[in-house]
Amino acid sequence: MPDLIIDNKKIQVAKGTRVIDAAQSAGIYIPRFCYFAELGAVGACRVCAVKFIDGPVEGIEMSCMVEAEDGMVVSTDDAEAVDFRRHVIEWMMMNHPHDCPVCDEGGHCLLQDLTVAGGHGIRRFSGKKRTYADQYLGPLISHEENRCIQCYRCSRFYQEYCGYKDLGVMGIAQRIYFGRYKDGVLENPFSGNLIDICPTGVYTDKPSRYTGRKWDFEQSSGVCTTCSLGCSIRVSARYRQVVRLEAGYSQAVNGAFICDRGRYGFSWVNSEKRPRQGRVDKKTMAPQKAAAAAAGRINDLEKQYGPGAIAVAGSGRSSLEALAAWHHLCQIRSWRGFFFDDLAAGPGAAAAVSGLSRENAVSMKAVESADMILAVGADPLREAPMLALAMRQAWRAGAGVFAIDPRDLEWPFAFRQVSAAADEIPGLVSGMATGNGFFENDSRHGRNMAAIRDQLAQSRSPVIVCGTAAGGQATVSAAAGLVQWLRKSKKDARLFGILPMANTFGGILLNGKPGTPEELIKGMESGQIKALVAAQSDLWKTCQDPDRLDRALRRLEFLCAADCVATELVSRADIVIPVFSVFEAGGIYINQEARAQWSQPAHAGGTPVRITGAGGHPPRVIGAAIPGGGLPPAWLAAWQIAGLAPPDSHEAMMDWMTKAYPVTAPVKTMGSEGVRIFPSQ
Amino acid sequence: MHPRVLLQNRKPGRIATMDEYRQSGGYQALEKAFVKNDPSPGDIREILLEARLLGRGGAGFPIGKKMATVPEDAPHPRYLVCNADEMEPGTFKDRVLIHADPHQLIEGIVLAARAIEAEIAVIFIRREYENAARILEREIQIARDAGFAGKNILGSGRDCELVVHRSAGRYICGEGTALINALEGKRANPRRPPPYPTTRGLWQLPTEVQNVETLCCVPHVLNNGAQWFQSLALTDSGAGTKVFSVSGKVNNPGCFELPMGVRLSELIEEHAGGMIPGSRFKACMPGGASTRLMPESMYHVRLDYGDMKEKGYRLGTGAVMVFDHKTCLVQVAVNLMTFFARESCGWCTPCREGLPYILDLLNRIEAGQGRAEYIEIIRKMCGHMKYSFCAFAPGAAAPVQGLIENFHEEVTAHIENQRCPFQDGQAGGDNAGSHH
């Protein structure tokens, strides 16, 4: 633990901490452009120069390139260092256009901040500015190379961190160019991060262009609900629509980056097609009235056929609050039950949840420190893209990566694959725990499996990644068994399951055995289920046989949908109750490593001005209420549909939930990093 | 007449053959080292250290010291890289050495590789030196056939494979660590030590990078001993000979091998044929483009790493560019800075942006649009170049720093009269600020 002095402050930091980070830990911000913790220090921009007055290093050095050591005395405001940094800014501004007022990065720009902070206001250099031709990089990212200050963050991120080669650096000297060989859509599924890491406006978000300035936006911290990883996001909203998502920082989950699917997968929130009004038999009405009508019909059917005729279908798209409400309501009303869509997409999900414990769980960020990774029946790049990026970091640090999977896998790093059929996987995985000699007779997979086993034997902290879709329950159980066996062999082995949805974990946590979509469809086919409430249900999407589902749905006497998305079930429903989405109501989501996180609402809700204004200018509707506002959160709609008095606030809802489901109690005290909740707790 | 060592076999119009090189004592050191293990690798390193053989590529770092930083237990394969990426303006000694006596270099490389027990030697050669590259490829094969290179050298069981690699073709490729990146197929950006290349260089394996001329000295040092090598120099601190490349306003420009420590005046007057008629010596670059511009007061300086360092100058590559009283030194600085601004690898800000900034101001001064405050801006920026990533930018700033310090009047004359005093054939006029 080195002790050092920075600007007369005594600081103690962990060994290996860079001086630039040591200073920041004491509240001293040293300017930086090229330095980005995830991408490492490279000493290119030279703007973090400080003076080392005493100790093992002396003179002006880059604070990002020097690790803190005992006895260092550092001055960040030494006159020579300040003068040098001022020159660095001036050099950068030689060629940077003076277009801040019209630049999309304006107000959101590190270069702007540091130029102003550094006092560079008057241009001394009277030479010409360098200009470049910009490139078309696809529909998501705008390219404006004139603004580039050559920090190399983009090429380092793109090529080193992500392993994609179609964007990089070309040319030398003042003709350095960051881009592609020729115009074209970026191939990297994480390319949106270029927007976040670029310290100025070379890469800007294309879809959100002309929607406003940073200071115009309502901003909030959210949790990405696109897959089960629960990455942190920063949400910007304006005029009742979500405008832009950026990566939020999470030390445990996603670090500083998110994938493009998460960044750009929010268009449904602002969609014209999204249900925004209650609907009863093709008549529109207020959501509360529609919910009351639904409650009435359900009561009638319950009287006619008994409570066993009523079923609820839901998905891991819902917040924990909504899932808890439905689980509870199904139980107290003695309905047929809550059927969980996610079990169609991930038959192994329940096993992945029950197989996880405080001891064997691993955060995505910690996957980067694994010394060996074995993925069974999992394709992270498709099922949980950021995990593939974490695996790449482990691979870069020397970890061997192996896969047992029937599919043609393409990951941005080298790995060795055993191309076994889905039903072979459980046997192969559990075979590794049964000792030597098992694979020698297997002519097809023997050699590769032996290699995996040998690597596992050598590893100290292996991570077993398992999918819940391809291999099903048997694969997940085998993977969990392997982890258990490895842990008994004194290895710090961890299990990392990939679940189908953002809150699959939550749904299973509340009830270890929710009904499966197969059971639901059978119930409908047999005529035992007469009424179905599709509560944010993706049954149509996850069902393998839509014709069969179509026939089953036609047998229902009543279909009710409560949703924030225009699903097929919504369009078929007799009664529709529109609900607020996570961007308007917030919600708790539990990711695949059992981490419950609170996603803040981004705005108060309502139909986007873009829609209500119908193109008029100014796009205003004068009235007391927010057009399209006042929808119930999904959990509130649940109570309304059940015809019962709901908790009267979100706070009351939380009190109720933590009492009704004691396993969820930790969410009341969770911090910004969330809290881990395991089923056995 | 001073003794000639490195250029003793130089012939007009053709290279020295292997037989000719052997007749002059060539490959004897190699035979002893490989067949009798005398000197052993450790002995070679010690002899080179004792001989005070300094790197001739510009930095003047002792070869023995650098070799000693390869750890005994370092992994294999180890690499020896011969840096023949000669791109320092004014420098052409390496090309002459290769064309004059290629086997001298080949033996030097194999012996230096032996010293660090490297199995693979790469000659990283400037792509414009295609003739030299072909000569080397041909002569390496001849040496290989004779058992002096390749597998199982002279039956010793030890290997040294020689590979000729044509450079990517930029000045920065000659920087030791950028060269390694270029060899790996990456952008030729310098690497920041530690780790030093001798511990983790090419593909993270121990790599010793040495200049052509340095390596050419190695067989002679081993043949004749460290004392002999030291005695070649005219100064106490120096050792060996130096191949000077002289260009500019002299009657007989070219490559001259002279004892280390020879006076600049002797080099110009006795070997380079003196100044051309009608020209007077005003200044010179003593060691290539990235050394400080040296004024006439240094005319009798001894050209030696130690002596010059004491006086605040660098011998660099020993490339002496001579300027006469009719040459505008601002124009010289513009010319050199144009080169450096173009050749910056673009990695760090001071070099990539600062050098063009300085160039812009110099251009304005030369064009008669200079302003008094430009001098201070240039001085400040040149000073800040020492905080850049590698040694390129400080080197690029050196001639300008020399200009501003030693030829201040010439610069101010440009600014005060708003014109270059040397234009319109008025060279050497009173306004030139010449020291004459």
A108 domain-assigned: no
Beta carbons within 8 Å of B190's beta carbon, 6+ residues apart:
B172, B175, B177, B178, B181, B345, B347, B389, B390, B392
**Sheet strands (E) in A389-523:** 400-404, 416-418, 462-467, 494-498
Q: Is A172 on the interface with B (CB under 8 A)?
A: yes
Same domain, residue pair A672 and A539: yes
The pLDDT value given to residue B315: 93
A462 domain-assigned: yes
Are A257 and A386 a contacting pair, CB within 8 Å?
Answer: yes
A115 domain-assigned: no
Q: Is A176 on the interface with B (CB under 8 A)?
A: yes
The pLDDT value given to residue B424: 66
A319-338 per-residue burial string, b: 16 or more CB within 10 A, e: under 16: bbbbbbbbbbbbeebebbbb
Same domain, residue pair A211 and A251: yes
Mutation for B interface: A32, A52, A91, most B CBs within 10 A: A91
Beta carbons within 8 Å of B258's beta carbon, 6+ residues apart:
B2, B241, B242, B244, B266, B267, B271, B303
Same domain, residue pair A238 and A330: no
First to last CA, chain B: 32
pLDDT in tens, A351-374: 999 999 999 999 999 999 999 999
A210 domain-assigned: yes
Same domain, residue pair A66 and A145: no
Give the CATH number for residue A440: 3.40.228.10
Rounded CA-CA distance B261/B267 in Å is 10
A640 domain-assigned: yes
Give the CATH number for residue A57: 3.10.20.740
Q: Which two tokens stand for residue B334?
A: 């513009």
The pLDDT value given to residue B436: 36
Give the CATH number for residue A533: 3.40.50.740
Alpha carbon of A228 to those of A266, A347, A559, A662: distances in Å? 16, 15, 28, 23
| Å between A44 CA and nearest CA of chain B | 4
Q: Is B387 on the interface with A (CB under 8 A)?
A: yes
Among A91, A169, A175, select the one facing B349 at the smallest CB separation. Answer: A91
Query: CA triplet A606, A607, A610: central angle to 5 degrees?
Result: 135
Q: Is B35 on the interface with A (CB under 8 A)?
A: no
Query: If you ran DSSP here, which 8-state letter would residue A47 be given?
Result: T
Q: Is A49 on the interface with B (CB under 8 A)?
A: yes
Helix (DSSP H) and strand (DSSP E) numbers for chain B: 18, 9
Rounded CA-CA distance B260/B126 in Å is 26
Q: Which positions in chain B touch A150 (Cβ < 8 Å)?
A: 346, 349, 352
The SS3 assignment for B23 reads helix
Q: Which positions in chain A touch B360 (Cβ < 8 Å)?
A: 125-127
Q: Which positions in chain A touch B348 (Cβ < 8 Å)?
A: 43-46
Are A361 and A593 a contacting pair, CB within 8 Å?
Answer: yes
Domain boundary among A270, A299, A324: A270
Same domain, residue pair A489 and A359: yes
Same domain, residue pair A667 and A534: yes
Residue B54 gets the label, from left (phi > 0), alpha (psi -120 to 50) or beta, of: beta
Beta carbons within 8 Å of B391's beta carbon, 6+ residues apart:
B59, B175
A619-650 per-residue burial string, b: 16 or more CB within 10 A, e: under 16: eeeeeeeebbeebbbbbbbbbbbbbeebbeeb
Same domain, residue pair A661 and A559: yes
Q: Is B346 on the interface with A (CB under 8 A)?
A: yes
Dihedrals phi, psi of B55, to nearest 5 degrees: -60, 130
Domain total for chain A? 4
pLDDT in tens, B195-216: 999 999 999 999 999 999 999 9
| Å between A79 CA and nearest CA of chain B | 13
For residue A576, list its beta bridge partners.
A279, A561
Report whether pLDDT(B429) > 50. no
Predicted confidence band at A557 (pLDDT cuts at 50, 70, 90)?
very high
Predicted confidence band at B430 (pLDDT cuts at 50, 70, 90)?
very low
Q: Is A48 on the interface with B (CB under 8 A)?
A: no
Amino acid in the structure at residue B410: E
Per-chain mean pLDDT for chain B: 94
Give the residue from chain A lying closest to B373, CA to CA. A124
Q: Which two tokens stand for residue A338?
A: 């809550």
Rounded CA-CA distance A121/A503 in Å is 50
State the virtual CA torsion across A11, A12, A18, A22 in degrees, nearest 10.
-40
Q: Which positions in chain A touch B354 (Cβ < 8 Å)?
A: 87, 91
Across residues B149-156, what is the average pLDDT? Answer: 96
Q: Which positions in chain A touch B380 (Cβ < 8 Å)?
A: 83, 87
Report whether pLDDT(A620) > 90. no
Measured over the CA atoms of residue A350, residue A351, residue A356 and residue A361, the dihedral's sign is negative
Residues of chain A by 3-state class (helix, strand, coil), percent to 5: 35, 20, 45
B14-25 per-residue burial string, b: 16 or more CB within 10 A, e: under 16: ebbbbeebbeee
Cα atoms in the Cβ-side hemisphere of radius 13 Å centred on A447:
3
Among B352, B357, B387, select the one facing A173 at the smallest CB separation. Answer: B352
Same domain, residue pair A366 and A229: no
Are B158 and B118 a contacting pair, CB within 8 Å?
Answer: no
- DSSP per-residue string spanning B103-121: HHHHHHHHHHHHHTT-SEE
Measured over the CA atoms of residue A592, residue A598, residue A603 and residue A607, the dihedral's sign is positive
Dihedrals phi, psi of B80, to nearest 5 degrees: -115, 125
Same domain, residue pair A147 and A164: yes
Closest alpha carbon to B328 in B237, B414, B388, B204: B414
Q: Which two tokens stand for residue A547?
A: 């014709």
Beta carbons within 8 Å of B418's beta carbon, 6+ residues apart:
B368, B369, B370
Weakest-pLDDT range from A106-110, A615-619, B38-42: A615-619
Rounded CA-CA distance A586/A287 in Å is 19
The SS3 assignment for B378 reads helix
Record: contact A88-B192, CB cut-off 8 A: no
Record: contact B389-A44, CB cut-off 8 A: yes
Give the length of chain B: 436
Amino acid in the structure at residue B86: E
pLDDT in tens, A657-669: 999 999 999 999 8
Predicted confidence band at B433 (pLDDT cuts at 50, 70, 90)?
very low
Residue B398 burial (CB < 10 Å; 0-12/13-18/19+)? buried
Closest alpha carbon to A469 in A377, A533, A555, A385: A377
Rounded CA-CA distance B250/A610 in Å is 78
Report whether pLDDT(A681) > 70. no
Report whether pLDDT(B312) > 60. yes
Among A46, A124, A172, select the one facing B350 at the smallest CB separation. Answer: A46
Dihedrals phi, psi of B15, to nearest 5 degrees: -85, 160
Closest alpha carbon to B4 in B148, B216, B215: B216
Q: Is B385 on the interface with A (CB under 8 A)?
A: no
| Å between A28 CA and nearest CA of chain B | 22
- Quick check: bond before A31 cis, omega within 30? no
A98 domain-assigned: no
Q: Which positions in chain B touch A172 (Cβ < 8 Å)?
A: 170, 172, 343-346
Query: CA triplet A197, A202, A206: central angle to 5 degrees?
Result: 90
| Å between B187 CA and nearest CA of chain A | 9
Q: Is A19 on the interface with B (CB under 8 A)?
A: no
Beta carbons within 8 Å of B406's beta carbon, 6+ residues apart:
B283, B293, B294, B295
Residues 184-243 of chain B whose Cβ lies under 8 A from any Cβ of chain A: 187, 192
Rounded CA-CA distance A158/A137 in Å is 13
Q: Which two tokens stand for residue B321?
A: 């560019």
The pLDDT value given to residue A616: 78
Rg (CA), chain B: 22
Record: contact B388-A173, CB cut-off 8 A: no
Weakest-pLDDT range from A420-429, A457-466, B37-46, B412-421: A420-429
Across residues A331-348, what is the average pLDDT? Answer: 94
Weakest-pLDDT range from A79-88, A623-632, A640-649, B116-125: A623-632
Are A669 and A675 a contacting pair, CB within 8 Å?
Answer: yes
A429 domain-assigned: yes
Same domain, residue pair A542 and A659: yes
Tally A–B CB contacts below 8 A.
Answer: 79
The pLDDT value given to residue B428: 45
Give me the domain span that covers residue A245: 127-270
Domain boundary among A498, A518, A534: A498
| Å between B397 CA and nearest CA of chain A | 15
Domain boundary among A447, A471, A498: A498
Give the CATH number for residue A131: 2.20.25.90
Across residues A65-74, what is the average pLDDT? Answer: 96
Report whether pLDDT(A94) > 80. yes
Record: contact A94-B341, CB cut-off 8 A: no
Q: Which two tokens stand for residue A285?
A: 């009405």
| Å between B39 CA and nearest CA of chain A | 39
Rounded CA-CA distance A168/B118 in Å is 34
pLDDT in tens, B254-283: 999 999 999 999 999 999 999 999 999 999
Mutation for B interface: A45, A52, A63, A174, most B CBs within 10 A: A174
The pLDDT value given to residue A485: 94
Rounded CA-CA distance A111/A94 in Å is 13
Same domain, residue pair A197 and A266: yes
The pLDDT value given to residue A436: 56
| Å between A36 CA and nearest CA of chain B | 16
The pLDDT value given to residue B280: 96
Are A518 and A385 a contacting pair, CB within 8 Å?
Answer: no
Rounded CA-CA distance B142/B148 in Å is 9
Are A141 and A189 a contacting pair, CB within 8 Å?
Answer: no
Record: contact A174-B353, CB cut-off 8 A: yes
Q: Which positions in chain A touch B170 (Cβ < 8 Å)?
A: 172
A120 domain-assigned: no
The pLDDT value given to residue A618: 75
Which helix (H) or strand (E) segment holds residue A595: the answer is strand A595-599
State the virtual CA torsion across A321, A324, A325, A331 in degrees, nearest 10.
180
Q: Are strands B120-125 and B241-248 parallel, antiparallel or unpaired?
A: unpaired
Same domain, residue pair A374 and A461: yes
